[in-house]
Amino acid sequence: MTSDGTVQHDGGSLGGLFGGGLMPESVLSFRPDHQSEQIDWQALTPAAAWLTALLKPRRFVELGTYAGDSYCAFCQAMREQGVSCEAFAVDLWEGDEHTGAYGPEVLARLRDYHDPRYGHFSRLMRMRFDDARETFEDGSVDLLHIDGLHTYEAASHDFRSWLPKMSPRGVVILHDTTPRERGFGVYRLWDEIEREYACFNLPHSNGLGVVVLDPDAAPDGIARVARMDEAARRPLLLVLKSLGDLVIAHAKERFRAGELERLKGRYRELEWAVEDLRRGHRSELSELLHLICAEFPGLSERLASIEDRLRRVEETAAGDAAETASDAANVEQTGGG
């Protein structure tokens, strides 16, 4: 540590990260194009761009894709960085005991988005992880993302059974290394992995564990990060977390903008409804006045009651319109602030 508090290890300062090529510009400018309503992986999408930049994988496999937030982030990073890679997403697209069951519309929506953009280098494989494994040659996968069922037994099985498929330069990443509730058990597997392999954990968004199977054979950048001590690695993890926070902030901004448009539309509908009511009551009134004057001159109480009814209807309508205008102004203010 220097006198100004800067950590001076390999990559242990922001200067070290950028100068040492550990934080390429393509990662800093990465913004995911595909964001579903599943928020879990979104803050890790800059980490997907970062891993892609450091590893330049020739074959990428994801076990557990669901709505495609993580998978599409990898595909987008590969396309933006010009990385030549075969990519495979494996899932039954039925859900499991942690995600809950879901319908065929999830895969259909993902196909609509994925196929035209990434279909030339990437495939969605609808099958069990164990069945998909047999379709890959041993030693052929450079990057494996394990994000299936998160019990200890399932995650251990996925990790250990896919190890023979990994290439010598291979890196395995595992999502959800931190949760301990609801039967999540990846953290137990992670304890074992930390004793056996060169690895590190990105702690945000429920944790993404990165396992460098053989640092001597792995690409230089990722091997250097795996060998750093925690203090040296901290600035790097902080930058990745801050980039993730930015992704989440953009997603919230988009949601608020959508809500504002919805409320503005509702306000316009109410304005039209009020105007219709006014017009209807005006003509009803003049009709009744006409009748009263013609047939029952002198029945002024009836006229007064009609006028009173009309006034109450108009007051209610004006109150509704003012309330909607105030809702819209609140959302606009929250969105702008």
Ligand X SMILES: C[S@@+](CC[C@H](N)C(=O)[O-])C[C@H]1O[C@@H](n2cnc3c(N)ncnc32)[C@H](O)[C@@H]1O
Binding span for ligand X by CB under 6 A among 93-101, 199-207, 231-239, 252-260: 93-101
Q: Which residue has the tokens 């030339």?
A: 120
Strands (DSSP E) found in the chain: 59-63, 86-91, 95-96, 100-101, 122-126, 141-146, 166-175, 198-202, 208-212
Q: Which residue, 148 or 215, has its beta carbon nearer to ligand X? A: 148
Q: Which is nearer to ligand X, 11 or 68 (CB)?
A: 68
Cα gap 82→56, rounded to integer Å: 9
Name which of 70 and 167 has its Cβ closer to ligand X: 70
From residue 266 to residue 305, the character string flagging contacts with ligand X as x (rule: CB under 6 A) and all else as - is ----------------------------------------
The window from 85-93, 110-118, 179-187, 262-270 that contacts ligand X (CB under 6 A) reads: 85-93
| Per-residue mark of binding to ligand X, 12-51 (x: CB under 6 A) | --------------------------x-xx----------
Distance CA 265, CA 258 (A): 11
Site string (111-150) toward ligand X, x via CB under 6 A: -----------------xx-----------------xxx-
- Contact yes or no for 187/180 (Cβ under 8 A): yes
For residue 150, the one-letter residue type is: H
In angstroms, the CA 173 to CA 58 distance is 16
Rounded least distance, CB 47 to ligand X, Å: 12
**By CB neighbour count within 10 A (0-12 exposed, 13-18 middle, 19+ buried), where does 86 fall?**
middle
Least distance (Å) from ligand X to the CB of residue 229? 30
Specify the residue, 129 or 187, whose C-beta has the smaller distance to ligand X.
129
Shortest Cβ distance from residue 79 to ligand X (Å)? 18
Nearer to ligand X, 99 or 178 (CB): 99
Q: Which two tokens stand for residue 84?
A: 């030549």
* DSSP state, residue 176: -
The answer to whether 66 contacts ligand X (rule: CB under 6 A) is yes
Least distance between ligand X and beta carbon 89 (Å): 9
By the rule CB under 6 A, 156 interacts with ligand X: no
Contacts of 199 (CB under 8 A, 6+ apart): 193, 209, 210, 211, 212, 226
Q: Is 185 in the site for ligand X (CB under 6 A)?
A: no
In angstroms, the CA 130 to CA 8 distance is: 45
Nearest-angstrom CA–CA distance, 27 and 115: 24
Is residue 69 within the footprint of ligand X (CB under 6 A)? yes
Contacting positions for ligand X (CB under 6 A): 38, 40-41, 64-67, 69-70, 91-96, 99, 128-129, 147-149
